[in-house]
């Protein structure tokens, strides 16, 4: 089977080699800094041979390109903990990643902290806005600017145990379109107040009753996506704040996306709350989405003009080497 080798950035013309399959060593003496590209179930996987030496690789050792996102608004203290922890766990999975911090007009120094990290580490990107536009809007921008084959995000308070990140990413690499952490599976271990537990279960029950679907936990802030499949969903998503997750998963299920729901260890972060007002607003959003889905089922929309991924680490014509 032929594989494409992309030379360093000075010479990006691909060279085709016939190499042994996975779990067998291979040698690239001509291109000691080359990258081996293999297409698997819609996700680009990159094998690196930095020393030009024979390598043996298993499925769990295949590097992949990841864009990880941390949305933040006025949570500098949590962000200070989240950045080094995120870098540590991402680096265990692959060396080809970017960490995007979407800062939504914070006033507590969150932006300045994120920028100081980005100045020291080129893997960190910061997206700052002078006016608060909402978490969903920030995630939309992050998806469009991301460069990884896999897009994931997690809450800044690290409520979900980050040891689950590898399993989340592996699910996408194995062919799932979406992988989500779930606090409502029986295997999950959750620590939170009875009030928040009741609100969460009530909300997700209302979603399933009004909209349908098999997803049990729509709002856990711990999700990963095949980014190209996610881009196809964005034109349908209208919410710009907390309902973004629910709306996205509802459309994904209706379009037959493969979704993997994973049990997690989850602990309520300090200072995090779910206000009754927010629950009422999201309840209204559920009913609005139900009506919209009913209208669309009667009158199928014309084909969407899906947004195109930005140029960046990977392009359609070749590979851009990370510095």
- Provide the annotated active-site residues: 245
DSSP string, 285-318: HHHHHHHHHHHHHHSPPPPP-PPPPPSSSB-SSS
Q: What is the CA radius of gyration of the chain?
A: 21
CA distance 53 to 25: 9
The answer to whether 314 touches 227, Cβ cutoff 8 Å, is no
At 205, phi and psi to the nearest 5?
-65, -40
> Angle CA(89)–CA(250)–CA(297) in degrees, nearest 5?
155
Tokens of 51: 């020393």
Residue closest to 160 by CA, chosen among 246, 32, 70: 70
Q: How far is CA 294 from the centre of its chain?
A: 29
In a 3-state reduction of DSSP, which class is residue 70?
strand
Instruction: Give the DSSP H or E segment for 2.
Output: strand 2-6
Q: Report the alpha-carbon distance of residue 266 to residue 182 in Å, rounded.
A: 9
Q: Are 111 and 122 in contact (CB under 8 A)?
A: no
Rounded distance, CA 97 to CA 88, Å? 12
The separation between CA 129 and the C-alpha centre of its own chain, rounded to angstroms, equals 20
């Amino acid at each position: 089977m032929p594989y494409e080798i992309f030379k360093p950035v000075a010479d990006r013309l691909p060279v085709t080699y016939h190499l042994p399959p996975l779990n067998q060593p291979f040698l690239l003496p001509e291109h000691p800094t080359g990258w081996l590209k293999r297409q698997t179930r819609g996700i680009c996987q990159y094998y690196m041979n930095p020393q030009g030496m024979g390598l043996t690789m298993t499925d769990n050792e295949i590097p992949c390109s990841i864009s990880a996102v941390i949305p933040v608004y006025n949570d500098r203290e949590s962000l200070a903990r989240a950045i080094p922890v995120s870098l540590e766990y991402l680096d265990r999975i692959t060396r080809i990643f970017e960490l995007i911090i979407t800062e939504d007009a914070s006033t507590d120094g969150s932006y300045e902290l994120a920028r100081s990290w980005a100045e020291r580490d080129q893997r960190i990107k910061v997206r700052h806005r002078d006016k608060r536009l909402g978490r969903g809007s920030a995630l939309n921008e992050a998806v469009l600017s991301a460069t990884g084959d896999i897009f994931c995000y997690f809450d800044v308070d690290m409520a979900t145990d980050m040891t689950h990140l590898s399993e989340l990413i592996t699910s996408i690499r194995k062919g799932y379109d979406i992988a989500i952490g779930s606090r409502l599976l029986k295997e999950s271990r959750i620590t939170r107040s009875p009030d928040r537990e009741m609100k969460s279960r009530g909300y997700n029950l209302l979603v399933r009753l009004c909209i349908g679907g098999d997803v049990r936990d729509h709002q856990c802030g711990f999700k990963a996506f095949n980014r190209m499949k996610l881009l196809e969903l964005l034109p349908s998503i209208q919410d710009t704040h907390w309902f973004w997750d629910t709306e996205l998963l509802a459309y994904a299920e209706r379009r037959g996306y493969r979704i993997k729901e994973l049990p997690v260890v989850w602990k309520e972060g300090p200072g995090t709350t779910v206000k009754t007002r927010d629950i009422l607003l999201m309840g209204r959003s559920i009913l609005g989405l139900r009506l919209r889905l009913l209208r669309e089922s009667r009158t199928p929309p014309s084909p969407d003009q899906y947004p195109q991924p930005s140029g960046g680490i990977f392009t359609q014509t070749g590979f851009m080497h990370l510095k």
